[in-house]
Amino acid sequence: MASASCSSCSSRRRRRTSIPLILCPSCGVKQIVELTANTEANQGRIFFACPSHEKGGSGCDFWYWEEGYIKYLNRKGLIEQNTCAKLLNEANQREIQRGTEEIKLDADVKKKSMVQEIRKDADVEEFKQADDMLLILREMMVMMKLMLVGGVCSVGLLVCCFLVLWFK
């Protein structure tokens, strides 16, 4: 878990007015804060935590990723169902964007590594062909990831729509 008190692991975000920050239900002392993860595995991912929360489980234990916090607010009746669906959709769109950027970075790193290996042993013509192949493979990887993420988000959106219709 990311820590609200570790500056290398998280940073404060500019507040959006649509997601309310409640008084921490676990400790009842401080208001929940919105943070952005800076860890390698979750770079840019939004989470909500009590300022007293500490990495490793010490301090207050209130901590949720953005999607979980939105669902928590809905379960507790602090936001309406249609607002919940809208916020979850926005969160999913941010995750798609974050995933796309992550794929591009991974592809660039892999491309550079492969190009360095090819340059060691290949002549210029072979290098150009390999570079073209790498570009094609990168595009294919990006498209496959986008299709996968889009499918997951579509399922999430269908579940939200079902919940809205169910609770109407």
What's the confidence (pLDDT) of residue 109?
66
d(CA 55, CA 5): 8
Arithmetic mean of pLDDT, 83-101: 81
pLDDT tier for residue 120 given thresholds of 50, 70 and 90: low
Contact between residue 4 and residue 59 where contact means Cβ atoms under 8 Å apart = no
pLDDT tens sequence across 26-75: 888 889 999 988 888 888 888 999 998 877 767 888 989 988 999 999 99
Region 106-110 average pLDDT: 67
53 compared with 128, residue with greater pLDDT: 53
In angstroms, how far is CA 100 from the centroid of its own chain?
Answer: 11
Q: Rounded to two decimals, what is the model's pTM?
A: 0.53
Of all residues in the chain, what percent carry a pLDDT higher than 90? 10
pLDDT category, 96, cuts 50, 70, 90?
confident
Rounded to an integer, what distance in angstroms lies between the CA atom of residue 84 and that of residue 67?
Answer: 9
Both tokens of 46, joined, read: 């939004």
Average pLDDT in the 146-157 region?
Answer: 83
